[in-house]
Amino acid sequence: MKDKKLKLKKVAIVAKGHAKEAKSIIQDLTKWLDERGIKHALESVLATRVGTGASFSLDKMPKDADMFIVLGGDGTLLSVVHAMRSRQVPILGVNLGSLGFLTDVALKDLYETLEKIVDGDVSIEHRSLLTAELERKGEVILTERVLNDAVITKGAIARIIEVSVDVDHQFVAIIRADGLIVSTPTGSTAYSLAAGGPIIHPKLETMILTPICPHTLAYRPVVIPDRSIVTLTLRGDPGEVYITFDGQVSELLEPGDIIRVRKSRNAVKLVSVRDKNYFRVLRQKLRWAERPRERRSKTPPTP
| pLDDT for 107 beyond 80 | yes
CATH number of the domain that residue 238 is part of: 2.60.200.30
Residue 58's pLDDT band, with cuts at 50, 70 and 90, is confident
Eight-state DSSP code of residue 298: S
| 140 found inside a domain | yes
Higher pLDDT, residue 276 or 262: 262
Please tell me the distance from the alpha carbon of residue 26 to that of residue 30, in angstroms, as a whole number. 6
| 237 found inside a domain | yes
| pLDDT for 2 beyond 60 | no
| Domain total in the chain | 2
| pLDDT for 8 beyond 90 | no
3-state secondary structure of 83: helix
| 292 found inside a domain | no
Q: What residue type is assigned to position 71 of the chain? A: L
Please tell me the distance from the alpha carbon of residue 195 to that of residue 211, in angstroms, as a whole number. 7
Catalytic residue positions, numbered: 74
CATH number of the domain that residue 282 is part of: 3.40.50.10330
Any idea how long the chain is? 303
Residue 17's pLDDT band, with cuts at 50, 70 and 90, is low
The separation between the first and the last C-alpha atoms of the chain, rounded to the nearest angstrom, is 64
| pLDDT for 209 beyond 70 | yes
Are the CB atoms for 284 and 100 separated by under 8 Å? no
The pLDDT of residue 263 is 97
| 301 found inside a domain | no
Are residue 60 and residue 143 in the same domain, yes or no?
Answer: no
The pLDDT of residue 18 is 58
Residues 6 or more apart whose CB falls under 8 angstroms from that of 242 comprise: 152, 153, 154, 155, 250, 251, 252, 253
Q: Count Cβ atoms below 10 Å from residue 285 Cβ, excluding itself.
A: 14
Least-confidence region, from 168-177, 189-198, 285-294: 285-294
Which residue range forms the structural domain that includes residue 59?
10-121+274-286
Residues paired with residue 258 on neighbouring β-strands, in sequence order:
135, 233
| 4 found inside a domain | no
3-state secondary structure of 3: coil
